[in-house]
Structure 1
Amino acid sequence: MSKDDVVKAASEVAAASFGRTFGEVPVNFALMAEHAPGAFAGYGLMRDAIMRDRDAGGALDLKTKELIFCVLDTLIGQTEGAKAHAAAAVRRGLSVPELAEALVQVVMAGGVTTWNETGAEVLRHAVEVVEKAEAAAR
């Protein structure tokens, strides 16, 4: 198998992994796939390995993993990533009070700036996700 074949196969695994959790490959990662396919392939294999639910051999459930990524992204100021992971966690059953508590932990570790720059927006987004889901269910 050639290196190009390996990159192609790993990129397919990466795209499928994003598809399972986000429904699509996020725009920034699609850009990586186009212009740095080897990096996308490598990242995708690592992502696929960690983003396994318990029934697929993961030690943590996907809701917890999405919450962890949400709070880590909040801590580093990666608002869009934090919002995406918060929404994914909510779709897997995370409640708004659980998210709020985790975001306050980020404030305790990273300071109030993490709340003002990212955390509040993430929580607002999660509330909107919940409200839309509730409205759709009616």
Structure 2
Amino acid sequence: MKKLLIAVVLALSAAACSPAPGSPWQKSYGKTFYEPNDGMAALYIIRDDPGQDASPIGITNGQSPVGSLVGLTWMRLDLPPSLYDLRASGTEGSTELIVTVNAGQSRFFLAEPKAPGNAQLREIPQDEGRRLVRKGQRAYSAPYFD
């Protein structure tokens, strides 16, 4: 009986130490991402490695500047549920993206240069967004805007 009990304890101990299975989304969630604040949505805007085009990409909401992304950087905006008019601006032009966010959501957008001298935002999957955030550095952004 003691041998059986010891075998069960060892088996349970080994199972507790093995990595937990999960979907790619669960694996990419990681420990560094926090839930959106109560009643808010977390919107991540990311710039991947710019390569040759290192010009800054400015981000605005309507007429309010939010921040600028240079190099491999990202910003997180905590927003109340609403409709937002986001713009990515290059050196010569900007591109508009209208998004609606709901409380509890985390969404990821990639800011990319677009020829000639323009920029754009496009939504990317959560696992790709989380990977890019982990790779980059946080850029300053306005903590909240109307």
Structure holding more strand per residue: 2
TM-score computed with the length of structure 1 as normaliser: 0.26
Greater relative contact order structure (CA < 8 Å, 6+ sep): 2
Structure holding more helix per residue: 1
